Amino acid sequence: MPRRSLSRRKFLASAAAVTAAPLIVPRHVLGGPGHVAPSDTFGGALIGCGGRGPGTFQAMSQNLHVQKLAECDVKFLDRADNQTYYTDFRRVLERKNIDLIAIATPPHWHALISIAAAEAGKDVLCEKPLTRFIAEGRAVVNAFNRYGRILQVGTFGRFRESQRRESIDIHKKMASGLVKKCNAVIIKRGGFKVREWSGRPDLRPEPVPKNLDWDMYCGPSPLKPYVKERTGGTHRGYWDYEGGGLSDMGQHFFDPLQWTYAKDATSPVEVTPHAPPAHPEVTGMWGWVELKYADGVTFVLDSGEWGEPYDRRKEQKLVVDLAEMPVPARTQLQKLPDPEPLVTFAEAVKTRKQPGGNPEAAHRCATLLHLSNIAIRVGRPIRYDPVREEIVGDEEANRLVNQPMRAPWHL
């Protein structure tokens, strides 16, 4: 067949016609009503698929379009396929199509997984408490600052509108630096699940379930003989993994108060416990713990489940007598604007602003709980330096601030 020649003029005319033709792009690519563009869709993964797992992933996905691409749990040995289900969180973090990580493991894994996620370029919503011991929290803060990622702890009390107006007023006064001393005493009575999450040291070892990677479950904590109570919700009763009901519920109660009283960047300096002698292996009963900050603000955890109720000081709200303040300070305080609205996790992911309950705030609230448990475990009052983040003059207590990890895991 003879070849047909195509003149330059005809070629240019044909090209122009193609260029002028309307470009039809599907709505699912552009986004719009009823459709989300791929650029607005986030790949998500859940690490720790037990009782809290689905709720944690749902909280992470609120006001975001998240596609769950992977789940990871040490109980997946019977179905791990290296595509959807994993037993090793490191395989999840290797995936480039995953942007957001929901962590709902027991707390002894929170810090290491969060730090690894930040290194891998992921944003994180982590269950409370943020850490198992204090030094882990500083390592988490440093990692998220270093890699510029977002982390929020999974408790949202500071966002409640019912207490927002009062909280803003107190926050302004405390954060101004004009209130040097404060007589506020805030007592939380009950709700700590102390008896429910007290551990049992007398249980006999059992065979490890075939679907459970027990070595990976223990991870940085000591490798102990398996008993089923060390897994599931009852893991809270063992110091190896958490700190009893105090750690389980405390961050819910004190995270909003910490923001209200401008304590997101500091910690108590005096901690006084009222509790029976503690068991070295398992959590147990306690009565109350008093935590006093350098400016006089005092938080009290009163379990109502052991001993006499707290009666050292009466509960009272913040009282600031403006009439007793110098006129310039009074005028300055009255002119202070409201603080910026707290940023949600979704807003933080989109704008890269730090959320309410950010790493520093979450670490400081977890520190409040860890100090309470340390005082209970050593059975005496302790003093804490919130700048150096160490217990003063008590080596036994200070060893619980930075606890050893089982090799090869380390901060």
240 and 183 in a single domain? The answer is: yes
137 and 180 in a single domain? The answer is: no
The whole-model pTM stands at 0.89
Place of tokens 């109720």: 309
Does residue 1 lie within any of the structural domains?
no
186 pairs with which residues across the strands? 299
User: What is the 8-class DSSP label of residue 100?
Assistant: E
**DSSP letters of 186-211?**
EEEES-S-TTTT---TTPPP-PPPTT
Q: Of the residues 156, 173, 206, which one is the last residue of a structural domain?
A: 156
Non-local CB neighbours of 132 within 8 Å, separated by 6+ positions: 107, 108, 110, 111, 221, 241, 242, 243, 403
Q: Of the residues 131, 156, 181, which one is the last residue of a structural domain?
A: 156
94 and 182 in a single domain? The answer is: no
In the structure, what pLDDT confidence band is assigned to residue 244 with cuts at 50, 70 and 90?
very high
165 pairs with which residues across the strands? none
Confidence (pLDDT) at 33 = 59
Helix (H/G/I), strand (E/B), else coil: 302: strand
Contact 156, 184 (CB under 8 A): no
Does residue 234 lie within any of the structural domains?
yes
Does residue 22 lie within any of the structural domains?
no
Report whether pLDDT(29) > 50: no
149 and 202 in a single domain? The answer is: no
Digit-coded pLDDT (tens) for 229-239: 999 999 999 99
Strand order in the sheet with 288-292: 185-189, 298-302, 288-292, 270-274, 382-385, 390-391
162 and 233 in a single domain? The answer is: yes
Task: Give the whole-number percent of the chain exceeding pLDDT 90.
Answer: 74
Q: Of the residues 156, 177, 210, which one is the last residue of a structural domain?
A: 156
75 and 133 in a single domain? The answer is: yes
Range of the domain at 371: 158-398
- The CATH number of whichever domain residue 202 belongs to comes to 3.30.360
Does residue 54 lie within any of the structural domains?
yes
146 and 182 in a single domain? The answer is: no
Domain count, the chain: 2
In the structure, what pLDDT confidence band is assigned to residue 142 with cuts at 50, 70 and 90?
very high
- The CATH number of whichever domain residue 126 belongs to comes to 3.40.50.720
317 and 394 in a single domain? The answer is: yes
Does residue 3 lie within any of the structural domains?
no
